[in-house]
Structure 1
């Protein structure tokens, strides 16, 4: 993503000694005079305003502050000696920068009540205009009563599972005895029948959708619409800039840089087109009795052809007083089952022929 810079805002910090909220650039607490500690964390006000003052902007862009290794005083970036003890700052510790503080919130500030005297103040104020008290929010710790876990009984669930298991077991036995368990008998081939089907295909227009530059030659374009095709990090001709929510990034100097991540959406023509392709339009069936099957062979125009075919054969057997029918798609097996030949038939419990063997 492309990072778009919007400006700078001033952050704030809370004095750990007295709780006073101080502007980010202030290095000594305005409430008790304590120096800003090295490990202090800058926060943002509930409402921020972009800095327009040139002097403040210069400080905001200077970089992260340096804490003196000897007295802990906070010094601006670029300083060579401590403003408090004059020590060399080459051994100092520069504040970390780059942390995302939060989403940027501009616009008009709302009014809040002072927690000490009830006076209304702008939410951007750090101290009450009436009593001078801190306007920092200190949310009360919410107490949550432990909830007793509901006891759930598993006895009913176990009985239901047991019943379902029993039904499944009975069903498996039923399938075995009806379909899988077979008896062997000898049958003699008495007759046969056959059916062969062939798919009839024809050149017909088939619709597709794709980007304009991907449409094959000879296709018939029907309609096109402009749609998002890609997202790029740098602007290109005809692209649309889409940016996320602006956010504040700590510069380490009591200020934050307001930035937002942007991408550029590239639009292109997405089209519906048609091409001529072979497609199924009908099924031609030919059937008959006996042992001489034939495939359908119709006279076809140039824009039609025969596609894939399917074949089904029925062989009739006589076994004493019983007659049986075996259905197969195996042409070689069908040819072997000539009239008068004897076969071993595997018969299931409902009289169906499962398999045959010569």
Structure 2
């Protein structure tokens, strides 16, 4: 891949006679002899017709460095001349020069070290960055703060349910390899039972599941895309030299395109086969709900269980739920509900009893303390 370098000559426009597209090699307007100056944008070159420069005079001017402007007459001069070509004044340290762009072939300059901002500026920057976090943390802190309020128990409620279960003979099905005849044992006072397995019968062969079985191989292909080189392309970089000329460096670099292809491989092929086993019907015993449950409820302070008669092979399943409702003032009438875990906790709450609550600024109740009961 060959590297190609060429010089391109720009053009400028005379502001005295309005002559346009004057080649950069002319430092004076060929029409009115006005010297090219920095004022009037005369030294802002245009690179429209990009013809390569090959003659020695132009090459020498391009290699002279960035133009400088005389402090006395304002005329432009070659970068390698110490005296103004127009008024013969010497170039001084204050003479302005056209800026040249970095050479594309040169190594990149080191990163500049910028002075750190003053401490006061950094403090403001930190404050701006931390403000959202500080605001969120402040809101969370405010929301978690609690304050005490006084409330009152306005009602209590209890519900008790009793379900009668009986150890009854039932028919079930199971896989033959998991069944063995065992005698049942009846419960005594609702416990100590054993279901047992009896009268195994009606055994039939039926599907129990499936399994995967190897069945040869198969070729599997997947469409994919990859990047491949598909020739070369010209890539050019340009550098303005600050004197009406531009340096262009071009390289032939690899060009890459997307290519579709099939990614294929061989893998084991599987088929699904049914798995059969022997299923049988058998007799056993199981706890069975007998009828709907009996329910009792109330809002007094004397919870009681509904009564049910039980037989020798019966048992009772008990469930209970308690609720205490509290009202308090905190920017309006608010309510809070407690669910005591058992009867003794429930009985400690009385209607009309005063209550102390800890309430957060966001309205959640974190603690409830009983006060004196109403008389």
Above 0.5 in TM-score? no
The structure with more radius of gyration: 2
State the TM-score, normalized to the length of structure 2. 0.39
